[in-house]
Chains A and B, each alone.
Chain A
Amino acid sequence: MIEMSEEPRIGVYVCHCGLNIAAVVNCEKVAGEAAKLPNVVVSKDYRYMCADPGQEMIKQDIKEQKLNRVIVASCSPRMHEPTFRKCVESAGLNPFLFEMANIRELCSWCHPHYAEKATEKALDLIKMAAAKARYLSPLEVVKVPVTRAALVIGGGVAGIHSALDLADMGFKVYLVERTPSIGGKMAQLDKTFPTLDCSICILGPKMVDVAHHPNIELLSYAEVKRVEGYIGNFRVTVAKKPRYVIEKECNGCGECANVCPVEVPNEFDENLGFRKAIYVPFPQAVPMKYTIDLEACIECYKCVEACKEQGREALNFDMKEQEIQLDVGTIVVAAGYDLYDPSKVKAYGYGLYDNVFTALELERMINASGPTQGSVIRFSDRKTPRSVAFITCVGSRDEKTNIYCSGFCCMYTLKNALLLREHYPDMEIRILFMDLRAPFKGYEEFYRRAREEGIQFLRGRPTEIYEDPKTSNLVISMENLSTGEPMDLEAETVILSPAAVPSAGSEELARALTVSRDASGFFMEAHPKLKPIDSATDGIFFCGAVQGPKDIPYSVSQGSAAASRAARIMIRGEWEIEPIVAFVDAEKCRNTKVKCGVCTTKCPYGAIAADEGKAALVNTAKCHGCGTCAADCPSNAITQRHFTDAQVLAQIHAALEEKPEEKIIGFLCNWCSYGAADLAGTSRFEYPPDIRVIRVMCSGRIDRDFVLEAFRKGAGMVMVSGCRFGDCHYISGNYNAEKRIKPLFTVLPRFGISAERLRLEWFSAAEAGFYVNLNKEMSETLRKLGIERIRVENEKARPFLDKMLQQSGD
């Protein structure tokens, strides 16, 4: 660490962000007030601090006014902190002497109707930043080596393109696919919109490229179990499921399947056709290796005989699940989607009536290599239907199922309708829709083409479908929204267009990767506009439908985008990570005298060693910077750089300088809680402006003393928050936080402080609504208790708090 003893000279820059901040917060006034703060030598406001003139202003002031601390009060540090750090660095200032006050997402955007209070809050946030800035010290960035290999999770069209791009750039790629073959959903499709290209004809060659690429190692029939490590240095445990066929020996001749007596429904054909117990899902599968479905095998060993007759011994019934360790620098997640299960919409009778199909079932039927070799037939009589009705928005755009629009369903419905028209010119084809959405290149033209080819469009959402028991035809009752009249419509076959939903197992995967999911369960990107590919965890990227429903061109471009984002890290061979690691003050550490080692048990990464008789020592390369050890150290010997006790306490003091009883001190973890607060801002949800947020990396950093100190200084309420259990970015930080903070609920009332004045809450980065309601609740509690009562309680508790804080050495 570089020592710095000179007197702080702070520059404060208040950004208007056009009218985003200035419309609510009086920026001139705030800048004027901020100028009066101790050590502040420059205080200015400007329309756009992040624009070139704004940055130039900072650089010039650093040089002319000899600033050694810079505060920009603007948007979230998750947005522009890197921008400004670079800016101050180019003017010769250490980037860690920069501090940001978030007065947009946390203030102006969420308090539009409290202009005065929002201005006060903005000033408080700047005060807090200035207080912290006084204690900032310059830090050297930590450089970590980067493994020049990438892991791609999911072998659908997005994952395939990502893997191929990375491999072509010269990186080693491990492509992990859960099913026996890569190809994903696209391999199941017959044609693609809007050109009606044959799906497998364009995907197949790409799949073969994957199989033959010298830089790609394909791990099919395997699943990611655990992910450890950090950007540049991930260690991934992959469980390879047993195929019972030795991949190296199998040449895909298929003699085994020919003799296998067991026929079971083929998932690849949406269970309309059958496969054997030893199988490849489809003829173009990659890898072209057989797999035994042991759930269906009757162990007759006919396949073993057949294989021997071919002069091979590829079968091994003793195969066990195998765990493989991979060291990779970056991870691309392309885990894809599932289709909504339409049997959940009881009114449509899928699973109940023979002739109600899903779009993917139709896709398999109409495919020449499908179970019917391309003819569309009914279940009940195996005849080609004379009339077909398509129903869109099944499992989407409905509060009872999923609220979101699945995006591509309109287009694939049009495509399926046109395919039917092509195969059966006399068929009566109707599409029942709520709205038809055909943006993007060539899509509207495709819709016109469907209209021109005589496909009928009827606006309305069917309420129920009945089956005529004699003919097995279906009667759809709906309101025709064009005429406003209820109507009944008969069709020989109904095709439902289900929505895309998060794929099964995505919850476990998100957990293993410690990335968040949004309210619908899709993976959440770091920023909806500027970081659509990045996850909140550095080094992990998303592409394709794992992040939200997407069509093929979109998925492909995201696959390539994710590849280039990942390559950007790997190309350099080393990566700078924030030096916000823990360090031990050897003089204070009591492990020198007594056997302690509390920190070693708290560290989720085993980054601290405490040998007997010696002070504990942090392994900087292993430390992820959660700060749990710092909060739990019994002798306060550990602190986290950039989030030191002194800095946090200074923030608490600054926040509570005036009218402390009316304020809520909120400790938010960087990943989930702060993310939710940011999202509440960007979504423009309004809540009362009582909270003063202190950002820490992990809830594990939140020392009990911080809470006590806040109450000692008279805080109205304190909120401690972090990720939901199991979602912690540092594995176990929130568990430790809970263990530490929970006893306060019994201790505080004994001092005279009502337990309801402390809140311990867990929510994910997607739960902006939760955060807003929480704030409303807390402000309500404050109002109910009243300032007088809070003052009385605080007075009563102060001697106890003084004593407790003294004991713990602050």
Chain B
Amino acid sequence: MRRIEKRRGEIVKRDEENRTIMERRLLLRWYELALDRATCFGCGLCADNCPREAIKYLPAEFKGIKAVSRPSIDFEPEKCVLCGECVSICPMDALKMRIEQAERVPVIEANVFAVSTKKRW
């Protein structure tokens, strides 16, 4: 697959079948944040708690009373800093983060939880 043009160090977002992948490749450090769309049920917790507001919550779409799509989320790669906050909060384990192929979540390793002042309700 021919990759799209990018600047050094920028996060590239790409879609694969059921997954959305956010990838940042530095010379000796590859980061990957992957969302399993099949597992995600669209609770939106990650969108609420993202400290950089890099996740957009997409509500379900209805035709009359019939839902035509599930609620879901979308990443904004230019805002994301790959801190892993969303991974730590996901109740469904739909988000996975890898650094250098190993599953790692920076905020969990540092034992921090970002202060979120946003309220969903």
Q: Which residues of chain A have a CB within 8 Å of any CB of chain B? A: 259-265, 270-274, 277, 296, 298-302, 343, 351-352, 361, 365, 371-372, 377, 379, 382
Residues from chain A with Cβ under 8 Å of B28 in the complex? 273, 371-372, 377, 382
Interface bits B2-42 vs A (CB < 8 Å: 1, else 0): 01011111100000000000001111110100000000000
Closest-by-CB residue of B relative to A467 is B2
**Residue B106 is within 8 A (CB to CB) of chain A in the complex:** yes
- The docked-state distance in angstroms from the alpha carbon of A260 to that of B110 is 8
Q: What is the distance, in angstroms, from A684's C-beta to the closest C-beta of chain B?
A: 43
Are the C-beta atoms of A259 and B5 separated by less than 8 Å? no
Are the C-beta atoms of A300 and B3 separated by less than 8 Å? no
Residues from chain B with Cβ under 8 Å of A365 in the complex? 27
Question: With A261-B109, A277-B81, A299-B51 known to touch, is A352 a contact of B9 (CB < 8 Å)?
Answer: no
Question: With A277-B81, A382-B28 known to touch, is A351 a contact of B5 (CB < 8 Å)?
Answer: yes
Q: What is the distance, in angstroms, from A110's C-beta to the closest C-beta of chain B?
A: 46
Residue from B3, B25, B31, B110 in contact with A261 in the complex, judged by beta carbons closer than 8 Å? B110
Are the C-beta atoms of A298 and B9 separated by less than 8 Å? no
Residues from chain B with Cβ under 8 Å of A298 in the complex? 51-52, 81, 83, 85, 107, 114
Q: What is the distance, in angstroms, from A353's C-beta to the closest C-beta of chain B?
A: 9
Residue from A273, A296, A300, A302 in contact with B26 in the complex, judged by beta carbons closer than 8 Å? A273
Report the tally of A-B residue pairs with Cβ distances under 8 A.
85
List 10 tightest A-B contacts by C-beta distance, closest first.
Answer: A265-B9, A271-B9, A298-B51, A261-B110, A300-B112, A271-B8, A261-B106, A272-B27, A298-B114, A296-B81
Residues from chain B with Cβ under 8 Å of A372 in the complex? 27-28
Residues from chain A with Cβ under 8 Å of B67 in the complex? none
Closest-by-CB residue of A relative to B8 is A271
Chain B interface secondary structure, helix, strand, loop or mixed?
Answer: loop
Task: Give the number of residues in B that approach A within 8 Å (Cβ atoms).
Answer: 29
- The docked-state distance in angstroms from the alpha carbon of A270 to that of B9 is 9
Residue among A260, A265, A296 having the largest count of chain B Cβ atoms under 10 Å: A265
Residue among B27, B81, B83, B112 having the largest count of chain A Cβ atoms under 10 Å: B27
Q: What is the distance, in angstroms, from A340's C-beta to the closest C-beta of chain B?
A: 14
Residue from A260, A277, A352 in contact with B3 in the complex, judged by beta carbons closer than 8 Å? A352
Residues from chain B with Cβ under 8 Å of A265 in the complex? 8-10, 24, 26
Are the C-beta atoms of B114 and A379 separated by less than 8 Å? no
Are the C-beta atoms of A343 and B5 separated by less than 8 Å? yes
**Residue B102 is within 8 A (CB to CB) of chain A in the complex:** no
Are the C-beta atoms of A301 and B115 separated by less than 8 Å? yes
- The docked-state distance in angstroms from the alpha carbon of A301 to that of B106 is 14
Question: With A271-B9, A301-B115 known to touch, is A261 a contact of B29 (CB < 8 Å)?
Answer: no
- The docked-state distance in angstroms from the alpha carbon of A401 to that of B34 is 39
Q: What is the distance, in angstroms, from B22's C-beta to the closest C-beta of chain A?
A: 14
Are the C-beta atoms of A300 and B110 separated by less than 8 Å? yes
Are the C-beta atoms of A272 and B110 separated by less than 8 Å? no
**Residue B95 is within 8 A (CB to CB) of chain A in the complex:** no
Question: With A273-B26, A300-B110 known to touch, is A262 a contact of B81 (CB < 8 Å)?
Answer: yes
If A265-B9, A270-B8, A382-B28 are given as contacts, then 6 extra A-B residue pairs at C-beta distance below 8 Å, sorted by A number, are A261-B110, A262-B106, A298-B81, A302-B110, A351-B5, A361-B8
A-B contact pairs, 26 of them (CB 8 A): A261-B84, A261-B110, A262-B81, A262-B82, A262-B83, A263-B29, A264-B81, A271-B7, A271-B8, A271-B9, A271-B10, A272-B9, A272-B27, A298-B81, A298-B85, A299-B114, A300-B51, A300-B114, A302-B110, A351-B6, A351-B7, A371-B27, A372-B27, A379-B27, A382-B27, A382-B28
